Amino acid sequence: MNKLNIIFKNDMEELQRISEGVELFLENKGISEDVVFTVHLVLEEMLSNVIKYAFKDFANHDIALGISVEKKKLKISIEDGGVEFNPLSVPEKKTDAPIHEREIGGLGIHLVRKMVQNMSYCRRNGKNHLEMTVKTG
């Protein structure tokens, strides 16, 4: 099996279970510790954003995470039925400005953009579809 699929609820407590499952899957695939660390950071940022901001009510909602191992890369997909949000539409952060001149927020998405090789987004059938690629070698 070269693909991991996890369906989880929009609850921050789910992140620990996801993290453990992803780590076990990647270790079993022989993925290096550096790449596992990168994937953890990417997922922590992007999944916590979905959990915190995608849904305007307090109901349980399903979020789908997929990770596939391909030749020298990992493909990560996140799908949710929350409010439309394209992380690629967030302006690049000016990280060279003095701290007191920087805008609050958006730094996590900026960091994820720097850690992944490719990121794409689309809204299809009322759902956000985010795909990211991380090189493994």
For residues 53 and 63, is the Cβ–Cβ distance under 8 A? no
What pTM value is reported for the model? Answer: 0.89
Interhelix angle 107-115/33-53, nearest 10 degrees = 150
For residues 21 and 15, is the Cβ–Cβ distance under 8 A? no
Strand partners, 135: 73
**Ordered mean pLDDT values, 10 residues apiece, the chain (137 residues):** 94 96 96 96 96 95 97 96 94 61 66 95 98 94
Q: What is the CATH number of domain 3-135?
A: 3.30.565.10
Tell me the C-alpha to C-alpha distance, in Å, between residue 73 and each of 1, 29, 64: 15, 12, 20
Report pLDDT for 18. 97
Report pLDDT for 36. 97
Report pLDDT for 69. 95
Domain ranges of the chain: 3-135
